[in-house]
Structure 1
Amino acid sequence: MKTIALPLIAGTVLAFAGLAGAMAPAALAYDGTHCKASGNCWEPKPGFPEKIAGSKYDPKHDPKELAKQGNSMKAAEERNKLRADNFKKTGRWVYDVSKIQ
């Protein structure tokens, strides 16, 4: 049992030392000389435009595609309202809206 415990302890100590050593360079990678304000140190890559609209980085989302989720939510709310109204009238919950009269 003693021969297993010593390598286990040594391995654990080395793992923690390696983790601490790996974190140190990441913390020192940016020197903070180009901050616009305190905590605002993001910089675009060279050649990245000031305005994204109209550039090659503009995603140009289709308004119909963006409205799909909102439309489906409205339709779901209408179906749930029909189900709830039918339940109040009949006392029976009918999931299939096509069966509600």
Structure 2
Amino acid sequence: MKTLSLTLVAGIAFAGLAGVIAPAAMAYDGTHCKAQGNCWEPKPGFPEKIAGSKYDPKHDPKQLAKQSESMKAMEARNAARAENFKKTGKWVYDVSKIQ
């Protein structure tokens, strides 16, 4: 039981010490604001231009287009459902059942 207590006390002391040191190392003085409330600035070493740097995510255009394609398909299905509802007065969810 004493071992657990000492471990717990040591962990709490270390966490307290880290909490005191970390904010001082990461502190931002707010002197480089682009506008009122817009005080974000990159960490030192972060490039001005992301494209071509190691931070560039290099997304595949085919993967990025998937969401817009699925949204267009969804809008087409919803348009068919709405048109069918206007004609028949019944809402049919399954578009394959709409004639």
What TM bracket, shorter-length normalisation? 0.5 to 0.7
2:66 corresponding residue in structure 1: 68
Q: CA deviation at 1:93?
A: 1.5
Q: Which runs of 5+ in 2 are unaligned?
A: 1-19
Root mean square deviation of aligned Cα = 2.7
Q: Give the total of aligned pairs.
A: 75
Q: Which residue identity does 1:92 align to in structure 2?
A: K
Residue by residue, what CA displacement relative to the aligned partner does 1:4-49 show, whole Å, maximum 9, x if unpaired?
A: xxxxxxxxxxxxxxxxxx9xx78xx43345x264555444333222
TM-score (norm 1): 0.57
* Residue of structure 2 aligned with 1:85, choices 66, 83, 86: 83
TM-score (norm 2): 0.58
Q: CA deviation at 1:95?
A: 0.9
Distance 2:82 2:39 in 1: 53
Residue by residue, what CA displacement relative to the aligned partner does 1:32-89 show, whole Å, maximum 9, x if unpaired?
A: 45x2645554443332222111011001122222222211111111111111111222
Structure showing greater Rg: 1
Q: Displaced runs of 4+ in structure 1, greater than 4 A?
A: 36-41
Q: Which residue identity does 1:85 align to in structure 2?
A: E
Identity %: 80
Distance 1:95 1:43 in 2: 49
Q: Which runs of 5+ in 1 are unaligned?
A: 1-21
